[in-house]
Amino acid sequence: MRIDTLLAAGLTRSFEFFPPKSDDEARVLDTTLADLVPLSPSFVSVTYRGGTESRQRTFDLVTRIQHDGAMTAMAHLICVGHTRAAMADVLARYAAAGVENVMALGGDVPDDGSNVSSDFAHAIDLVELAREVGDFAVGVAAHPLGHPRSANRTDDRRHLAEKLALADFAVTQFFFRADEWSRLVEELADLGVHKPVLPGIMPVTTLSSVKRMSLMGAAVPDELVDRLNAAHEAGGSTAVRAAGIEAATALSRELLTRGAPGLHFYTLNRSTATREIHRALFEV
């Protein structure tokens, strides 16, 4: 099923995974996938960081999910480290495997500086190629606070509007205040763009993850950090986890109230927190 068709039909619920790098990680992911199938997600997406090995792991996982038939899969694609010919081949392989949905991303430059050359200047170039190669539903990334490499929010919104003019939908980086999603959607509307923007949800379940999330581009707000610290003082790590899930559930509920077209959960290949939030929102 194409994701643009799913979005046109109503509210979507989706989950994101990364391809395993070891047998142990593969077993964990298999358990997670089995746990989430009963939730009947609209679709699931699989990330990809680049390099031949990672590209094949993503391809194998996406096509396996798609062929199993229980869930619709979306494959991530990145600009960094790819020639146009190589990416056209990847897209053709996905089309031949029956995969109808792709996510066009700029991609992160490797920490060691290797493998950074690319025939693509920006993600919009990858969107254009996907349109040429196959009949895909194409998603792009959105950053409620602005892309880290954008000079300012005005430029960020202009570039995002240009991408969305060609793409079918956007999925946001995780964030923690509903106003940030609402402002993003309103600013896109001011630019004449009304494509669906799916909010990305990632619960903060440990104090140690606060710093990591900031490094990933979305700082945890002070009020949530204070809430997590208070929970830790009152009940330790178990209470922190509960407070983080409660906050993510409240954010998700508020986003739905504001008209979000769906919710996209970053699972980190674990199902428990996602299932708890899903149960609170949709199963009570």
223 is catalytic: no
The answer to whether residues 150 and 144 touch, using CB atoms and an 8 Å cutoff, is no
Question: Catalytic: which of 16, 128, 186, 283?
Answer: 16
DSSP 3-state assignment of 226? Answer: helix
- How far, in Å, CA of 115 to CA of 207, rounded? 34
Phi-psi region of 191 (alpha: psi -120 to 50; beta: other; left: phi over 0): alpha
One-character DSSP codes across 173-214: EE-S-HHHHHHHHHHHHHTT----EEEEE----STHHHHHHH
Tell which residue, 14, 15, 13, 17, has the closest CA to residue 269: 17
**Residue that is written with structure tokens 């994101």 in the block:** 16
The structure tokens listed for 225 are 């950090």
The HSE-up count of residue 45 (CA atoms within 13 Å, CB side) is 30
- How far, in Å, CA of 73 to CA of 69, rounded? 9
The answer to whether residues 140 and 108 touch, using CB atoms and an 8 Å cutoff, is no
Q: Which residues are known catalytic residues?
A: 16
